[in-house]
A and B are shown apart, each in its own frame.
Chain A
């Protein structure tokens, strides 16, 4: 299982293993990472699972599709590395991935 490190807004790191096929959001929820709220449950409707992909990993993870891109416009402090974690499906290639949780409310 790919190892993922989530870093919350206070800089605290949560290292966890997430099964391939689950979403980056589900991995965060299961590990109890604060700030990944996901109030719409992963339907790409609310932007409260917003996070920044660590610079070293943006190519592996890739960018958002049109719906996610539009939904990200609702998120706080959007950056080029912004993704909605519910829309990122974990693959084996993401072993070691580092994700910075955004300020979600």
Chain B
């Protein structure tokens, strides 16, 4: 028996360890294309960038822990094809690894800046540890930082750069921050927070081109004809799912590798999990792709169960977080198609939550510096508690009373 996992990120590692915990004793190969053992990505835009944190502190496990679990870890290994007929994974070296079960945890890659001059050496991205190392090396020498994209990555980098005393400008093509994820009241709160720390924003305008200057800096021309001079550019304009291997092997793909609620692809021997999947979660009516630690871990467990011949449906509650300066934004549920957003608490106080409803049902909660309320929101949503919108907006109402009796 042999199981091969392609992709050594959080989802890949989760599947490997869940298989061993599930008493799988056959051969287990974990393939990664980077040179590092599986590592945590969330600190890359925060602590890793801000402090001189050693790479090893990002690793989920020391290598010997993988060996101990008899996980055959193959770093710096590129997979070129999946031969479904022969049930073999084909490596760039020509080596072929046979499998009875295969897991795809290939993650995503950054969306490159689609403008002339984007190959300028001052242009950085932030996805992997190599990206973070490069950015961390270049940051000290840069006085002016231009961030393209007012999403989580862009804003976390902006906060870190500003805290390091850099002059920071953020350009965002939409008219507000984190627009895909949060309500306008949250966007506005974070815009004020960043402005108060000295970050400048340009909303509703895109980047048009980048022109090199003789001193190594550059001039960024914007779509409205204005320009910004800076020494370092960090682009955080989204990611693309790594689904080419799956697609070339004839597996169904949309904006991600299509999997059912058991993390199974259109080939029953092949599962997929994490950022790369276009998946079904029983909690939601439609399929989607989610880039998060929660999804990597929880869907990874589901995928491992499927490889072990069990059928455990995916129905875990999505949650996310973002740290900017000393402010913690914690999100639970998916609020994108809400029809009502009610604020609990006073945004001006710096701590509040937004409760999102769809046809009267609670679909998500964003909490800003209100960790207890975030945790309560997770319990409320986990238990399917009925929360009247009026109660959510009334700070005097104790929401714990909405929880079903223990």
Chain A interface residues toward B at CB < 8 A: 22, 26, 29-30, 32, 39-43, 45-46, 66-67, 69-71, 73-74
Contacts and interface: CB of A to CB of B under 8 A. Distances in A.
A87 B230 CA distance: 37
19 contacts: A22-B57, A29-B60, A32-B64, A32-B68, A39-B10, A41-B43, A41-B293, A42-B43, A43-B42, A43-B321, A43-B323, A45-B319, A45-B321, A46-B293, A69-B372, A73-B372, A73-B375, A74-B375, A74-B378
A9 to B, nearest CB: 13
A103 B232 CA distance: 46
B265 interface: no
B266 interface: no
Interface of B: 10, 14, 40, 42-43, 57-58, 60-62, 64-65, 68, 293, 297, 319, 321, 323, 328, 330, 371-372, 374-376, 378-379
A1 to B, nearest CB: 16
Given A73-B375, A73-B379, 8 more contacts: A29-B65, A30-B62, A43-B321, A46-B293, A71-B375, A73-B372, A74-B378, A74-B379
A32 B65 contact: yes
Nearest 6 pairs of A and B residues by beta carbon: A41-B40, A70-B371, A70-B372, A67-B371, A32-B65, A39-B297
A70 B293 CA distance: 20
Contacts of B378: 74
A42 B58 CA distance: 10
A73 B120 CA distance: 48
A26 B57 contact: yes
A32 B64 CA distance: 9
Nearest to A65: B371
Contacts of B61: 29, 32
B333 to A, nearest CB: 15
Contacts of B42: 40-41, 43
A41 B376 CA distance: 22
Contacts of B374: 70
B371 A66 contact: yes
A81 to B, nearest CB: 20
Which residue of A41, A43, A69 has the most chain B CB atoms within 10 A of its CB atom? A41
A88 to B, nearest CB: 15
Which residue of B14, B293, B375, B379 has the most chain A CB atoms within 10 A of its CB atom? B375
